[in-house]
Amino acid sequence: MSDSEGLTLTVLGAGTMGIAIMGGVMSSLASAKTKSALSSSASSSAPPKLPSKFIACDTWAPAEQKVKDALSHYAFPLTTLTNKNIQGARDADVLILSCKPHGFKDILGESGMRDALAGKVLISILAGVTQEQIEQFLYPSGAPENACRIVRVMPNTASFVGESMSVIQKSEPPLTDAQQALVEWIFNSIGRVVTLPAGNMDASTALCGSGPAFFALVLEAAADGGVAMGLPRAEAQLMAAQTMRGTTGLVLSGEHPAVLKDKVSTPGGCTIGGLMVLEEGTVRGTVSRAIREATVVASQLGQGAKNVNGTRH
Ligand SMILES: NC(=O)C1=CN([C@@H]2O[C@H](COP(=O)(O)OP(=O)(O)OC[C@H]3O[C@@H](n4cnc5c(N)ncnc54)[C@H](OP(=O)(O)O)[C@@H]3O)[C@@H](O)[C@H]2O)C=CC1
Ligand SMILES: O=C(O)[C@@H]1CCC=N1
């Protein structure tokens, strides 16, 4: 629980994302400490207290070692628990629900969970599960005065390296200033943040949550092309990754992707030759359709639907 030094952040589900988010937050805190300037905490919108202790809960016993292997080197107080979600929730100030989408009822339905969550902020990163679904499950007769506040956020796995793109769902009614500051601090500490209405969360899941997988596929294909033409594998992968990073740097600094593309295409040169092959392969349509498909699949993940991907052509 919160002490004079800081808050306790608990993740309920210590898999890929639970570890990535804790790792990102720890890394951000550690680098602020190293610089001995908690610049974000010094800003007017920073929460009065930051996370300083961490609890990772899972049902899978080997998760404890995975968490320790990934995070112990940050040297923050870190507790790992197996089948002790209530203890993890009780000892928390702020929680991240990071189980699989269909698993939230198991966790939130545990006897004593409602009391353990009272008055706290529960951040759900589950794909396809709405804030209302969680609220109605926890409080079927309406939220009591001490109900926890549920906030839906869609981050991505680049949280681990402080490069997430996280979409925070606009809360209705608004969170308190302190709650809002805490949620924004957590996700700003692990990357960039935008806030959007509830209706945009499934598309955000496809573009930001799934996005790293889509971009990794393109990156890997580009490296393969280089290898096919004789580049050594390790260098080809580094070259593809750094080239993708440079491209995103230009776009994030304000360059329009279409202008960027045209600038690279020297008339009569090799780039336009490669671009024509991509257009013939309907890369744009295929990539856009992948985002549309993932959006539709994401929208069904919270309905308890099984094998959703198999129901679509
Ligand atoms: N992976 C990603 O890049 C992203 C994922 N998400 C969302 O984040 C959530 C987690 O995804 P991800 O990290 O990939 O999934 P993982 O399967 O890696 O992690 C979930 C963990 O929760 C555990 N778990 C299952 N039931 C319980 C329980 N009752 N109590 C505590 N822990 C439990 C799982 O154990 P077991 O494996 O034994 O079931 C598993 O270790 C999902 O809802 C997903 O939609 C959002 C953005 C990006
Ligand atoms: O594939 C999934 O369902 C999750 C949600 C976004 C990224 N991974």
With a 6 Å cutoff on the Cβ, whether 205 touches ligand 2 is yes
- Ligand 2 atom with least separation from CA of 156: 7
Confidence of residue 38 (pLDDT cuts 50, 70, 90): very low
* pLDDT of 37 higher than 50: no
Q: ipTM score of the complex? A: 0.99
- Ligand 1 atom with least separation from CA of 157: 3
**C-alpha 83 – ligand 1 centre gap (Å):** 14
3-state per-residue secondary structure call for the chain: CCCCCCEEEEEECCCHHHHHHHHHHHHHHHHHHHCCCCHHHHCCCCCCCCEEEEEEEECCCCHHHHHHHHHHHHCCCEEEEECCHHHHHHCCCEEEECCCHHHHHHHHCCCCHHHHHCCCEEEECCCCCCHHHHHHHHCCCCCCCCCCEEEEEECCHHHHHCCEEEEEECCCCCCCHHHHHHHHHHHHCCEEEEEECHHHHHHHHHHHHCHHHHHHHHHHHHHHHHHHCCCCHHHHHHHHHHHHHHHHHHHHCCCCHHHHHHHHCCCCCHHHHHHHHHHHCCHHHHHHHHHHHHHHHHHHHCCCCCCHHHHCC
**C-alpha 36 – ligand 2 centre gap (Å):** 36
* pLDDT of 311 higher than 50: yes
Both tokens assigned to 215: 């971009």
Residue-wise pLDDT for 188-208, tens only, equals 999 999 999 999 999 999 999
The whole-number pLDDT of residue 153 equals 98
Q: What is the mean pLDDT of residues 166-186?
A: 97
**Smallest CA separation from ligand 2 atom 1, residue:** 210
Q: How many CB atoms lie within 10 A of CB 179?
A: 17
> Is 204-301 the same fold as 7-196?
no
With a 6 Å cutoff on the Cβ, whether 209 touches ligand 2 is yes
* pLDDT of 243 higher than 80: yes
Percent of the chain residues topping a pLDDT of 70? 94
Domain ranges of the chain: 7-196, 204-301
| pTM of the predicted model as reported, rounded to 2 decimal places | 0.95
Contact between 151 and 195 under an 8 Å Cβ cutoff? The reply is: no
The whole-number pLDDT of residue 244 equals 98
Q: Check the annotation: does 142 bind a ligand.
A: no
The per-residue pLDDT of the chain, averaged, comes to 94
**C-alpha 101 – ligand 1 centre gap (Å):** 8
Q: Which fold has domain 7-196?
A: Rossmann fold (3.40.50)
Class of the domain covering 204-301? mainly alpha
The whole-number pLDDT of residue 40 equals 45
The whole-number pLDDT of residue 33 equals 78
Residue-wise pLDDT for 140-149, tens only, equals 999 999 999 9
Q: Check the annotation: does 15 bind a ligand.
A: yes
